[in-house]
C-alpha cells in the first residue's frame, strides 16, 4: 500500500512541474488521497493494536504535504503544513467512515437500509459477510 502511494507521489513529482501549492494540493486530493483512503481501510488499527501500515500511510501523506508546499527543510513542521493545507489525517477519515457506517446501520440517518444494504448468503469462516450497495447521495448530519 505505502509503496504504491510513494510511487504515485513520485509520478506526481516527476510529471507536475509547477510551483503552485494550490495545483499540487489539488493533484494530491484527486489522485493520491483516494488511493490512501481506499487502502487505509485495510490498515485500520483497533484500539491498543500497534499497526505500522497506518503509520506508513500517514507518512506518505506527510511527504506529500512537504512536496505540495515545497518545504523540505528539517525544522519545518509537517503538522503545521497539514493544517495550512486543510488536510485531515487518514486516521480521522477512518474514524469518519466507521461513524458513517454506524449511523447507517443503526438508523441514525435518513437512509432506507433496505435500498442500500443487503445481507449476503455467503459466510466467511466465522463471520457473516455483509455486502453494501454504494449510496449515490447521502448527506451526513453534523454532530
d(CA 9, CA 88): 18
pLDDT tens digits for range 66-105: 999 999 888 889 989 999 999 988 888 888 878 887 887 8
Three-state secondary structure call for residue 127: coil
d(CA 39, CA 58): 12
Q: Where along the chain do its domains lie? A: 2-95
Sequence-separated (6 or more) residues with CB below 8 Å from residue 4: 35, 39
Looking at residue 116, its pLDDT comes to 56
Looking at residue 29, its pLDDT comes to 92
d(CA 16, CA 39): 24
Which residue intervals of 20-133 are DSSP H helices?
21-27, 33-40, 52-69, 78-85, 90-105, 113-116
Which residue ranges of the chain lie beneath pLDDT 50? 48, 128-129, 133, 135-143
Decide if 2 contacts 60 (C-beta within 8 A): yes
Looking at residue 95, its pLDDT comes to 82
The C-alpha cell at 69 is: 508546499
Amino acid at each position: 500500500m505505502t509503496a504504491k502511494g510513494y510511487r504515485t507521489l513520485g509520478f506526481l513529482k516527476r510529471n507536475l512541474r509547477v510551483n503552485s501549492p494550490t495545483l499540487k494540493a489539488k493533484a494530491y486530493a484527486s489522485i493520491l488521497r483516494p488511493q490512501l483512503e481506499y487502502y487505509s481501510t485495510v490498515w485500520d488499527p483497533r484500539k491498543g493494536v500497534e499497526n505500522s501500515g497506518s503509520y506508513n500511510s500517514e507518512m506518505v501523506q506527510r511527504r506529500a504535504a512537504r512536496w505540495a508546499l515545497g518545504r523540505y527543510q528539517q525544522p519545518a513542521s509537517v503538522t503545521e503544513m497539514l493544517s495550512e493545507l486543510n488536510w485531515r489525517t487518514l486516521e480521522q477519515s477512518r474514524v469518519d467512515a466507521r461513524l458513517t457506517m454506524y449511523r447507517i446501520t443503526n438508523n441514525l440517518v435518513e437512509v432506507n437500509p433496505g435500498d442500500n444494504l443487503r445481507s449476503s448468503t455467503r459466510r466467511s469462516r466465522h463471520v457473516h459477510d455483509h455486502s453494501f450497495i454504494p449510496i449515490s447521495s447521502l448527506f451526513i448530519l453534523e454532530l
